Chains A and B, each alone.
Chain A
Amino acid sequence: MSVGRLFLLAGVTYTLLLIGLASLNGALVALTLPLIVYLGAALIYAPDAPHLRVARTLSADRILPGASVEVRLAVHNESAHLEEVLLEDFIPRPLTLLDGQTSKIVLLPPGKTLELAYTVAGPRGRYQFQSVRVTAADHLGLFRRQALLPAPGSFIILPEAPRMRQVAIRPLRTRASAGLIPARIAGSGVNFFGVREYQYGDSLRWVNWHATARHPRRIFTNEFEQERIADVGLVLDARQRHDLWVGDDSLFEHAVRATASLADTFLRDSNRVALLTYGAGLNWVFPGYGHLQRERILQALARAQTGESDIFETLDYLPTRLFPAHSQIVLVSPLCKEDLGTLVRLRAHGYELLVISPDPIAFESVGLPPNGKHVATATRLARLERTLLLRRLRQAGVQIVDWSVDKPLDQAVLVSLGRVPKWARPVR
């Protein structure tokens, strides 16, 4: 109800009427008649409680970033004639309206349907529409009836997952099926693994003639390294304190995109991939293969938010039992010095650990004034601290990709992992 307007008119009418009666002035009393007619007309045509049926349809329930979703609302009037109906839909933040209207004001006769259509787009996330507000009023707008009608609907905007080339990982243990990960076991494969004495059934094409020439009575054949699929556990660090913002750009968003790319790459290579989001709580996607698992992981990443928790402030509570023993763990985290102990322990437990670390210093220094007081010194100190941390991790056998997020992840991975380090090469 438009209470202010109603009270204004009623108050003026009463006042004029009282003054007219008190002063015995009929002209003043007669002057209130237009106001009384106006109020009377509003009273007569005051709307009843609206009985409306609302249906919401979305053009898609999952989209990629940059795409848009068309939202359609159909409101069917099952009550009496509604003179002035204001229909308002609420767009979940931070979606933006691209086209159309989220509210409409129309006449709605009984049995008629009002349609509202608009197009929205937005960043990664899961968006839920709840209800629609309907305000019915008389033409003069003095009396209103408002109702919130449930009109649920939801869609998801998946994170971007830029394509990457194969990521060179070498877990200690692989699974039984053939894949692309070197299994540290001799067998049929492509890469040279070693030389052994010829056995019956070996192909003559595998005979190592150089070794055989040095041993006149023995024949040697080449062995190749088997390639299998592996268990890969992706861990996305969603701790609030690691999320840095420069303008509208968030370091966590880069980490999410990197995780999506990695999941896509590992699943494309037929590996079994799981995802753990470590932040305010633990969000676990069970290990799986193929397109369905890719979809599960992307949806989990679409929902991923940073959060704070006293328990998960450090990586000490990383539930390693979720990952198979000696499997590959890929941690996507900017890292801090408190994480060193946990990561070293993970290595000690036999996990093969790859850390994709979005560089927070390079990211944050973009937003700092170049000639700011002490900025250069502070940046240098932070850089030293980070370099030391990464060096210690490398010394512990952790593979590190120090990723400046202004460059493609693929490029950073290629630079860091392109050449297999000596310690990781197969024994000959």
Chain B
Amino acid sequence: MIARVTVFCILLAAAAALIGFALAGAWQLGVLAAGLGGLWIVARRKGWGGTASPLLLGFLVLAALGVTLPGGAIWAPLCLVAGLAAWDLDRFAGRLRGVGPRPAAAEGGGAAPDETHDLTRRHLWRLGVVSGLGLVLSWAGQAIHFKLELTVMLLLGFVAILGLSRAVQSLVRESD
């Protein structure tokens, strides 16, 4: 199930970027997005480790490039959210696969399906909520326009970055 949802997310990210760039006339970037999606699927099949993060970065860059193009406000957040979900599920599947070791006699590897069913369901639910909320907020952010003074904007940006940094720092400290 995880594998199917992951592939769906990759295809969604790639398709959104491909169609978006194609409609905006930037074919080359569309082809690049399709290539990234294809590479991601192949990497999953072949079990190449450490490819998910660079590929997510690729989709993030494409979304950032496409968000200013005509229609980009719709598909760019979708591409980013789908890429983020695929990246998350890729990690989750890897974590389930890494549980073991299983005896040599047993086929395959990883945790027993019945034991992880509940975990998978909850993970998908959390990811769905987070992705949906993020997508809706991003679309809303693209739609809502209001003017801010430069100083106010800089101040808000500074506060946002500082707040996020502090939160991450404190969690890193606690985890250590």
Contacts and interface: CB of A to CB of B under 8 A. Distances in A.
B11 interface: no
B90 to A, nearest CB: 11
A384 interface: no
Interface of B: 53, 56-57, 60, 63-64, 67-68, 72-73, 76-77, 80-81, 84, 88, 91-92, 95-96, 99-103, 111-112, 115-116, 118-119, 122-123, 126-127, 129-131, 133-135, 137-138, 140-142, 145, 153-154, 157, 160-161, 164-165, 167-168, 171-172, 175-176
A17 B161 CA distance: 8
B138 A139 contact: no
B134 A31 contact: no
Contacts of B92: 141
B134 A37 contact: yes
B100 A102 contact: yes
A143 B169 CA distance: 12
A107 B96 contact: no
Interface in A1-56: 1-6, 8, 10, 12-14, 16-19, 21, 24-31, 33-39, 41, 43, 45-46
A99 B142 CA distance: 55
10 contacts: A10-B164, A12-B60, A16-B60, A26-B141, A34-B131, A99-B103, A101-B100, A104-B115, A105-B119, A139-B126
Contact of B118 (A21, A43, A98, A107): A107
Contacts of B64: 16, 19, 28, 31
B99 A86 contact: yes
Contacts of A103: 99-101
Given A5-B53, A106-B119, A35 B84 contact: yes
A417 B95 CA distance: 62
Given A16-B64, A37-B130, A38-B134, 7 more contacts: A10-B164, A17-B161, A31-B138, A34-B135, A37-B133, A101-B99, A143-B171
A35 B160 contact: no
Contacts of A107: 118-119, 122
A396 to B, nearest CB: 52
A84 interface: yes
A37 to B, nearest CB: 4
Nearest to B72: A27
Q: How large is the interface on A (under 10, 10 to 19, 20 to 34, 35 or more residues)?
A: 35 or more
A103 to B, nearest CB: 5
Contact of B111 (A13, A19, A101): A101
Contacts of B172: 1, 3, 6
A350 B162 CA distance: 87
A315 to B, nearest CB: 43
Contacts of A143: 171, 175
A165 to B, nearest CB: 39
A210 to B, nearest CB: 71
Contacts of B157: 17-18, 21
Contacts of A231: none
Contacts of A194: none
